Amino acid sequence: MKLNDIRDNAGARKTRIRVGRGIGSGKGKTSGRGQKGQKSRSGVAIKGFEGGQMPLHMRLPKRGFNNPFGKDYAEVNLGMVQKLIDAGKLDAKAVIDHAALQAAGVARGGKDGVRLLGKGEFTAKVKFAVAGVSKGAQAAVEKAGGSVELPAPQPSEHEKKLARRDANKAAAKK
């Protein structure tokens, strides 16, 4: 076999049908769309329409709840952090934060930061600066002699609204 003998398998590449190219082509005049009606015309997109009947995607039961205020944390187990420290991919003397865990390839995603979970053995004395931590993970880190630094809690939207209302009332009294 030579390079110039290489061919695709028969039927592997199908040429597209050129519609509207004369009566002899078999797809001339109406171009395979038939006569009249909405579908024979251009600009039609009837994706989920079922002739007035309730469409299938609306008939099926809906499940669950999508929390618009939910946080997206990259979840990292302590056992994995210990493995990275043992392998030399993480420096135990430096503060371990989201950027360090991402560089080590363990914190994927997590636009709201990293949350530490307590799965696995942990023995290194390390200082963490993360967005969240489970009780078990915090206990394991402190038992090993390390510490976990969390960001200052932000007021909720409800608390902000109440503070604005009180400020407006105080301004109105003056």
pLDDT per residue as tens digits for the range 110-127:
888 999 998 988 888 999
Please tell me the predicted confidence (pLDDT) of residue 93: 87
Long-range contacts at 154-158 (CB < 8 A, ≥ 24 apart): 157/69
- Checking if the pLDDT of 140 tops 80, the result is yes
Q: What pTM was estimated for this model as a whole? A: 0.56
**Domain edges within the chain:** 74-149
SS3 sequence of 83-120: HHHHHCCCCCCCCEEHHHHHHCCCCCCCCCCEEEECCC
- Checking if the pLDDT of 7 tops 90, the result is yes
CB-based contact 126:148 (threshold 8 Å): no
Please tell me the predicted confidence (pLDDT) of residue 173: 85
Classify each residue of 50-61 as buried b or exposed e, where b means 16 or more C-beta atoms within 10 Å of its C-beta.
eeeeeeeeeeee
CB-based contact 84:91 (threshold 8 Å): no
CB-based contact 93:53 (threshold 8 Å): no
Distances from the Cα of 65 to the Cα of 68, 69, 70, angstroms: 9, 12, 11
Let me know how long the chain is: 174
- Checking if the pLDDT of 99 tops 80, the result is yes
Which listed CATH number (3.30.930.10, 3.50.50.100, 3.40.50.720, 3.100.10.10) goes with 74-149? 3.100.10.10
CB-based contact 95:128 (threshold 8 Å): yes
- Checking if the pLDDT of 21 tops 90, the result is yes
